[in-house]
Amino acid sequence: MTAVALRNLVKRYGDVTAVAGIDLEIAAGEFVVLLGPSGCGKTTTLRCIAGLEDVSDGEIRLGDQVVSAAAYSLPAEHREIGMVFQSYAIWPHMTVADNVAFGLKMKKLPATEVKQRVRQALELVGLSELAGRGASQLSGGQQQRVAFARAVVLEPKVLLFDEPLSNLDAKLRERMRFDLRQLQKRLRITSIYVTHDQQEAMIIADRIVLMHQGHIDQIGSPVEIYRHPTSRFGAEFIGLANISPAKVVANGSETRVRLPSGIEITSAATGFAVGDGVEVVCRPEDVQVSETPLCGPNTFSAHIIASYFLGNITDVFLRVGDLQLRSQLNSHLSFPEGQMVWTQVSPNSIILIGA
Protein backbone atom coordinates (compact mmCIF):
# COMPACT_ATOMS: atom_id res chain seq x y z
CA MET A 1 0.00 0.00 0.00
CA THR A 2 1.38 3.41 -1.01
CA ALA A 3 1.47 5.89 1.87
CA VAL A 4 3.08 8.83 0.05
CA ALA A 5 3.21 9.47 -3.69
CA LEU A 6 4.90 12.31 -5.57
CA ARG A 7 3.83 12.79 -9.19
CA ASN A 8 6.01 15.03 -11.37
CA LEU A 9 6.64 17.27 -8.35
CA VAL A 10 8.04 20.68 -9.27
CA LYS A 11 8.94 23.54 -6.95
CA ARG A 12 10.21 26.85 -8.29
CA TYR A 13 11.37 29.99 -6.52
CA GLY A 14 11.18 32.65 -9.23
CA ASP A 15 13.60 31.58 -11.95
CA VAL A 16 15.22 28.91 -9.76
CA THR A 17 13.87 25.35 -9.98
CA ALA A 18 14.59 23.64 -6.67
CA VAL A 19 12.72 20.40 -7.48
CA ALA A 20 12.55 19.49 -11.15
CA GLY A 21 9.73 17.02 -11.72
CA ILE A 22 10.38 14.04 -9.45
CA ASP A 23 8.29 10.88 -9.10
CA LEU A 24 8.41 8.77 -5.96
CA GLU A 25 6.21 6.22 -4.20
CA ILE A 26 6.74 5.31 -0.54
CA ALA A 27 5.10 2.23 0.92
CA ALA A 28 3.28 2.15 4.23
CA GLY A 29 5.75 1.52 7.06
CA GLU A 30 8.79 2.21 4.89
CA PHE A 31 11.77 4.30 6.05
CA VAL A 32 13.00 6.35 3.08
CA VAL A 33 15.97 8.71 3.19
CA LEU A 34 16.32 11.70 0.84
CA LEU A 35 20.08 12.01 0.47
CA GLY A 36 22.19 14.53 -1.38
CA PRO A 37 24.43 17.60 -1.12
CA SER A 38 23.23 21.06 -0.14
CA GLY A 39 20.95 22.58 -2.75
CA CYS A 40 19.87 19.27 -4.31
CA GLY A 41 16.17 19.77 -3.42
CA LYS A 42 15.78 17.23 -0.62
CA THR A 43 14.63 19.64 2.11
CA THR A 44 12.35 21.48 -0.30
CA THR A 45 10.74 18.14 -1.20
CA LEU A 46 10.23 17.36 2.48
CA ARG A 47 8.68 20.78 3.15
CA CYS A 48 6.30 20.30 0.22
CA ILE A 49 5.17 16.96 1.66
CA ALA A 50 4.68 18.61 5.06
CA GLY A 51 2.57 21.39 3.56
CA LEU A 52 5.08 24.08 4.52
CA GLU A 53 5.68 24.92 0.84
CA ASP A 54 3.17 25.11 -2.02
CA VAL A 55 4.06 23.10 -5.13
CA SER A 56 4.55 24.76 -8.52
CA ASP A 57 3.43 21.73 -10.51
CA GLY A 58 2.57 18.06 -10.08
CA GLU A 59 0.90 16.62 -7.01
CA ILE A 60 1.47 14.95 -3.66
CA ARG A 61 -0.80 12.21 -2.35
CA LEU A 62 -1.04 10.89 1.20
CA GLY A 63 -2.79 7.56 0.75
CA ASP A 64 -5.63 8.22 -1.70
CA GLN A 65 -5.92 11.91 -0.89
CA VAL A 66 -4.34 14.66 -2.97
CA VAL A 67 -2.87 17.10 -0.44
CA SER A 68 -0.82 19.30 -2.78
CA ALA A 69 -1.26 20.38 -6.39
CA ALA A 70 -0.55 23.54 -8.37
CA ALA A 71 -3.97 25.02 -7.51
CA TYR A 72 -4.61 23.38 -4.13
CA SER A 73 -2.83 22.79 -0.83
CA LEU A 74 -4.28 21.08 2.23
CA PRO A 75 -3.11 23.01 5.32
CA ALA A 76 -0.22 21.35 7.16
CA GLU A 77 -2.22 20.87 10.36
CA HIS A 78 -4.75 18.69 8.51
CA ARG A 79 -2.24 16.29 6.93
CA GLU A 80 -1.74 13.99 9.94
CA ILE A 81 2.02 14.39 9.62
CA GLY A 82 4.55 14.54 12.43
CA MET A 83 7.82 16.41 11.95
CA VAL A 84 11.15 16.36 13.78
CA PHE A 85 13.32 19.36 12.96
CA GLN A 86 17.06 20.02 12.97
CA SER A 87 16.50 22.40 15.88
CA TYR A 88 14.71 20.52 18.64
CA ALA A 89 12.02 23.25 18.85
CA ILE A 90 10.95 22.21 22.33
CA TRP A 91 9.63 24.61 24.95
CA PRO A 92 12.50 25.28 27.41
CA HIS A 93 10.18 26.52 30.17
CA MET A 94 8.08 23.33 30.16
CA THR A 95 8.78 19.91 31.61
CA VAL A 96 9.50 16.93 29.38
CA ALA A 97 5.97 15.59 29.89
CA ASP A 98 4.36 18.97 29.15
CA ASN A 99 6.34 19.28 25.92
CA VAL A 100 5.14 15.89 24.75
CA ALA A 101 1.56 16.61 25.84
CA PHE A 102 1.38 20.02 24.15
CA GLY A 103 -0.07 18.83 20.81
CA LEU A 104 -2.56 16.52 22.50
CA LYS A 105 -3.83 19.35 24.70
CA MET A 106 -4.23 21.57 21.63
CA LYS A 107 -6.54 18.87 20.27
CA LYS A 108 -8.51 19.08 23.53
CA LEU A 109 -8.22 15.35 24.26
CA PRO A 110 -9.36 14.06 27.68
CA ALA A 111 -6.74 14.47 30.39
CA THR A 112 -6.64 10.72 31.11
CA GLU A 113 -5.92 9.94 27.46
CA VAL A 114 -3.25 12.65 27.31
CA LYS A 115 -1.53 11.24 30.38
CA GLN A 116 -1.59 7.68 29.04
CA ARG A 117 -0.27 8.59 25.59
CA VAL A 118 2.49 10.78 27.04
CA ARG A 119 3.57 7.95 29.32
CA GLN A 120 3.69 5.51 26.41
CA ALA A 121 5.65 7.94 24.22
CA LEU A 122 8.23 8.61 26.93
CA GLU A 123 8.62 4.87 27.57
CA LEU A 124 9.22 4.40 23.87
CA VAL A 125 12.15 6.86 23.82
CA GLY A 126 13.51 5.84 27.22
CA LEU A 127 12.73 9.08 29.05
CA SER A 128 10.06 7.95 31.55
CA GLU A 129 12.23 8.86 34.53
CA LEU A 130 12.74 12.40 33.22
CA ALA A 131 9.06 13.25 32.69
CA GLY A 132 9.08 15.95 35.37
CA ARG A 133 12.46 17.47 34.48
CA GLY A 134 12.69 20.87 32.82
CA ALA A 135 13.46 20.58 29.11
CA SER A 136 16.33 23.06 29.39
CA GLN A 137 18.10 20.67 31.79
CA LEU A 138 18.40 17.91 29.21
CA SER A 139 21.35 16.95 27.02
CA GLY A 140 21.16 17.38 23.25
CA GLY A 141 20.39 13.71 22.73
CA GLN A 142 17.64 13.77 25.35
CA GLN A 143 16.11 16.90 23.81
CA GLN A 144 16.04 15.19 20.43
CA ARG A 145 14.26 12.21 22.03
CA VAL A 146 11.66 14.60 23.46
CA ALA A 147 11.15 16.05 19.98
CA PHE A 148 10.67 12.52 18.61
CA ALA A 149 8.22 11.60 21.39
CA ARG A 150 6.25 14.81 20.80
CA ALA A 151 5.91 13.87 17.11
CA VAL A 152 4.90 10.21 17.58
CA VAL A 153 2.48 10.87 20.46
CA LEU A 154 0.10 12.43 17.93
CA GLU A 155 0.03 9.08 16.08
CA PRO A 156 0.74 10.59 12.66
CA LYS A 157 0.31 8.63 9.44
CA VAL A 158 3.68 9.92 8.18
CA LEU A 159 6.74 11.06 10.13
CA LEU A 160 9.17 13.55 8.59
CA PHE A 161 12.75 14.19 9.76
CA ASP A 162 14.71 17.26 8.64
CA GLU A 163 18.38 16.50 9.48
CA PRO A 164 17.44 15.89 13.14
CA LEU A 165 20.89 14.73 14.28
CA SER A 166 23.10 17.38 12.70
CA ASN A 167 23.34 19.46 15.91
CA LEU A 168 24.63 16.53 17.99
CA ASP A 169 28.29 15.68 18.58
CA ALA A 170 29.79 12.84 16.54
CA LYS A 171 29.56 10.09 19.17
CA LEU A 172 25.98 10.91 20.16
CA ARG A 173 24.95 11.27 16.52
CA GLU A 174 26.28 7.78 15.78
CA ARG A 175 24.32 6.23 18.66
CA MET A 176 21.12 8.10 17.84
CA ARG A 177 21.18 6.74 14.27
CA PHE A 178 20.77 3.21 15.56
CA ASP A 179 18.19 4.29 18.15
CA LEU A 180 16.05 6.05 15.53
CA ARG A 181 16.18 3.05 13.23
CA GLN A 182 15.12 0.67 16.00
CA LEU A 183 12.30 2.98 17.10
CA GLN A 184 10.96 3.26 13.57
CA LYS A 185 11.07 -0.52 13.12
CA ARG A 186 9.02 -0.94 16.29
CA LEU A 187 6.46 1.71 15.35
CA ARG A 188 6.31 0.97 11.59
CA ILE A 189 5.34 4.58 10.88
CA THR A 190 5.98 5.61 7.29
CA SER A 191 9.05 7.85 7.63
CA ILE A 192 10.90 10.23 5.31
CA TYR A 193 14.28 11.45 6.49
CA VAL A 194 16.48 14.18 4.98
CA THR A 195 20.25 14.14 5.39
CA HIS A 196 23.50 14.85 3.56
CA ASP A 197 25.34 12.26 5.68
CA GLN A 198 25.95 9.07 3.68
CA GLN A 199 26.66 6.86 6.69
CA GLU A 200 23.50 8.05 8.40
CA ALA A 201 21.47 7.18 5.31
CA MET A 202 23.07 3.72 5.00
CA ILE A 203 22.24 2.85 8.62
CA ILE A 204 18.63 3.96 8.85
CA ALA A 205 17.15 3.59 5.34
CA ASP A 206 15.05 0.86 3.81
CA ARG A 207 15.57 2.78 0.58
CA ILE A 208 17.74 5.75 -0.30
CA VAL A 209 16.57 8.41 -2.77
CA LEU A 210 19.78 10.02 -4.02
CA MET A 211 19.08 13.57 -5.25
CA HIS A 212 21.19 15.87 -7.42
CA GLN A 213 20.34 19.32 -8.78
CA GLY A 214 16.61 18.93 -8.19
CA HIS A 215 16.39 15.49 -9.80
CA ILE A 216 16.39 11.93 -8.48
CA ASP A 217 19.73 10.39 -9.46
CA GLN A 218 19.04 6.86 -8.17
CA ILE A 219 16.66 4.98 -5.87
CA GLY A 220 17.59 1.73 -4.15
CA SER A 221 18.55 -0.06 -0.97
CA PRO A 222 21.78 1.04 0.72
CA VAL A 223 23.56 -2.00 -0.77
CA GLU A 224 22.26 -1.25 -4.28
CA ILE A 225 23.19 2.42 -4.08
CA TYR A 226 26.70 1.60 -2.87
CA ARG A 227 27.51 -1.48 -4.95
CA HIS A 228 25.67 -0.54 -8.16
CA PRO A 229 25.82 3.24 -8.69
CA THR A 230 24.27 4.35 -11.97
CA SER A 231 26.14 7.66 -12.34
CA ARG A 232 29.56 9.10 -11.59
CA PHE A 233 27.90 11.49 -9.14
CA GLY A 234 26.40 8.56 -7.22
CA ALA A 235 29.69 6.66 -7.15
CA GLU A 236 31.56 9.69 -5.82
CA PHE A 237 28.92 10.88 -3.34
CA ILE A 238 28.27 7.53 -1.64
CA GLY A 239 31.46 6.35 0.03
CA LEU A 240 34.93 6.47 -1.54
CA ALA A 241 35.70 5.40 -5.08
CA ASN A 242 38.55 5.10 -7.57
CA ILE A 243 37.13 6.39 -10.86
CA SER A 244 38.64 6.64 -14.34
CA PRO A 245 37.22 7.05 -17.86
CA ALA A 246 37.82 4.17 -20.26
CA LYS A 247 36.81 2.63 -23.59
CA VAL A 248 35.38 -0.86 -24.04
CA VAL A 249 37.79 -2.97 -26.12
CA ALA A 250 36.22 -6.43 -25.77
CA ASN A 251 32.95 -7.91 -24.52
CA GLY A 252 31.24 -11.25 -23.97
CA SER A 253 30.81 -13.01 -20.62
CA GLU A 254 33.04 -10.21 -19.24
CA THR A 255 33.95 -6.72 -20.44
CA ARG A 256 37.49 -5.51 -21.05
CA VAL A 257 38.22 -1.78 -21.00
CA ARG A 258 41.28 0.34 -21.72
CA LEU A 259 42.14 3.39 -19.60
CA PRO A 260 43.74 6.53 -21.13
CA SER A 261 47.10 5.36 -19.72
CA GLY A 262 46.83 2.15 -21.76
CA ILE A 263 46.11 -0.10 -18.76
CA GLU A 264 43.47 -2.73 -19.52
CA ILE A 265 41.01 -3.93 -16.87
CA THR A 266 38.47 -6.75 -16.90
CA SER A 267 35.01 -6.36 -15.36
CA ALA A 268 32.29 -8.93 -14.74
CA ALA A 269 29.76 -6.29 -15.86
CA THR A 270 28.13 -6.89 -19.24
CA GLY A 271 25.84 -5.07 -21.64
CA PHE A 272 28.41 -2.72 -23.18
CA ALA A 273 29.46 -2.56 -26.84
CA VAL A 274 33.02 -2.32 -28.11
CA GLY A 275 33.90 1.37 -28.43
CA ASP A 276 31.53 2.52 -25.68
CA GLY A 277 32.85 5.14 -23.30
CA VAL A 278 32.46 4.14 -19.64
CA GLU A 279 33.48 5.20 -16.16
CA VAL A 280 35.45 2.50 -14.33
CA VAL A 281 34.72 2.43 -10.59
CA CYS A 282 36.20 0.36 -7.78
CA ARG A 283 35.92 0.85 -4.03
CA PRO A 284 39.13 1.21 -1.97
CA GLU A 285 38.26 -1.81 0.20
CA ASP A 286 38.24 -3.97 -2.96
CA VAL A 287 41.83 -3.04 -3.92
CA GLN A 288 44.18 -5.74 -2.59
CA VAL A 289 47.82 -4.91 -1.83
CA SER A 290 50.58 -7.48 -1.28
CA GLU A 291 54.35 -7.54 -0.93
CA THR A 292 54.42 -10.88 -2.78
CA PRO A 293 53.22 -11.41 -6.37
CA LEU A 294 49.51 -11.96 -6.92
CA CYS A 295 47.88 -14.05 -9.65
CA GLY A 296 44.73 -13.55 -11.67
CA PRO A 297 43.07 -10.79 -13.71
CA ASN A 298 43.58 -7.10 -12.94
CA THR A 299 46.94 -7.72 -11.24
CA PHE A 300 49.56 -4.98 -11.51
CA SER A 301 52.84 -3.97 -9.95
CA ALA A 302 52.58 -0.66 -8.09
CA HIS A 303 54.49 1.75 -5.88
CA ILE A 304 53.32 3.13 -2.54
CA ILE A 305 52.76 6.88 -2.67
CA ALA A 306 51.64 7.23 0.96
CA SER A 307 50.26 5.11 3.80
CA TYR A 308 48.20 6.41 6.72
CA PHE A 309 47.28 4.53 9.90
CA LEU A 310 43.69 5.41 10.89
CA GLY A 311 43.14 3.00 13.79
CA ASN A 312 40.69 0.51 12.32
CA ILE A 313 42.15 0.69 8.78
CA THR A 314 45.27 1.70 6.89
CA ASP A 315 44.63 4.12 4.02
CA VAL A 316 47.08 3.45 1.19
CA PHE A 317 47.69 5.42 -2.00
CA LEU A 318 49.38 3.59 -4.86
CA ARG A 319 50.61 4.39 -8.34
CA VAL A 320 50.15 1.93 -11.20
CA GLY A 321 51.90 3.55 -14.17
CA ASP A 322 50.11 6.90 -14.56
CA LEU A 323 47.09 5.73 -12.54
CA GLN A 324 46.65 6.51 -8.84
CA LEU A 325 44.62 4.11 -6.72
CA ARG A 326 43.39 4.26 -3.16
CA SER A 327 43.17 1.14 -1.01
CA GLN A 328 41.86 0.59 2.51
CA LEU A 329 43.43 -2.34 4.29
CA ASN A 330 43.50 -4.09 7.64
CA SER A 331 45.18 -1.73 10.10
CA HIS A 332 47.85 -4.35 10.89
CA LEU A 333 49.29 -3.81 7.40
CA SER A 334 51.56 -0.89 6.59
CA PHE A 335 53.94 -0.05 3.77
CA PRO A 336 56.75 2.51 3.56
CA GLU A 337 56.59 5.22 0.92
CA GLY A 338 58.16 4.12 -2.36
CA GLN A 339 57.91 0.38 -1.71
CA MET A 340 57.09 -1.75 -4.73
CA VAL A 341 54.01 -3.95 -4.17
CA TRP A 342 51.43 -5.94 -6.10
CA THR A 343 47.82 -4.87 -6.37
CA GLN A 344 44.73 -6.65 -7.63
CA VAL A 345 41.00 -5.95 -8.05
CA SER A 346 38.55 -8.78 -8.74
CA PRO A 347 36.49 -8.37 -11.96
CA ASN A 348 33.40 -8.77 -9.76
CA SER A 349 34.38 -5.57 -7.94
CA ILE A 350 34.85 -3.45 -11.07
CA ILE A 351 31.75 -1.30 -11.71
CA LEU A 352 31.18 0.11 -15.20
CA ILE A 353 28.94 3.15 -15.66
CA GLY A 354 27.87 4.24 -19.12
CA ALA A 355 29.54 7.58 -19.83
pLDDT tens, residue by residue, 142-159? 888 898 889 888 889 999
Q: Which residues contact 338 (CB under 8 A, 6 or more apart)?
A: 303, 304
Q: How far apart are CA 205 and CA 209, in angstroms?
A: 9
The tally of CA atoms less than 13 A away on the side-chain side of residue 229 is 28
**Which secondary structure element, helix H or strand E, spans residue 260, and what is its range?**
none
Distances (CA, A) of 354 to 161, 197, 208, 271, 338: 34, 26, 21, 10, 35
Query: From edge to edge, which strands make up the β-sheet containing 340-344?
Result: 288-290, 340-344, 299-309, 313-320, 323-330
Please tell me what DSSP assigns to residue 336.
Answer: -
pLDDT, tens only, 73-106: 999 989 999 998 877 778 888 999 999 999 899 8
158-162 and 16-27: which strand pairing? unpaired
Q: What is the pLDDT of residue 164?
A: 86
Q: What is the pLDDT of residue 238?
A: 94
Domains belonging to the chain, first-starting first, are 2-234 (3.40.50.300), 242-354 (2.40.50.100)
- Other CB atoms within 10 Å distance of the CB of residue 292: 6
Annotate 182-192 with b (16+ C-beta within 10 A) or e (fewer): ebbeeeebbbb
Q: What is the pLDDT of residue 174?
A: 86
- Look at residues 210, 228, 227 and name the one whose alpha carbon lies nearest to residue 219: 210
Q: Which amino acid is at 271?
A: G
Phi-psi region of 102 (alpha: psi -120 to 50; beta: other; left: phi over 0): alpha
**302 and 339 Cβ atoms separated by less than 8 Å:** no
- DSSP sequence for 288-305: EEESS---SSSEEEEEEE
Query: From edge to edge, which strands make up the β-sheet containing 65-69?
Result: 16-27, 2-13, 57-62, 65-69, 72-73
Q: How far apart are CA 340 and CA 330, in angstroms?
A: 19
Low-confidence ranges of the chain (pLDDT < 50): none
Q: Which residues contact 207 (CB under 8 A, 6 or more apart)?
A: 30, 31, 32, 33, 219, 220, 221
Q: What is the pLDDT of residue 259?
A: 96
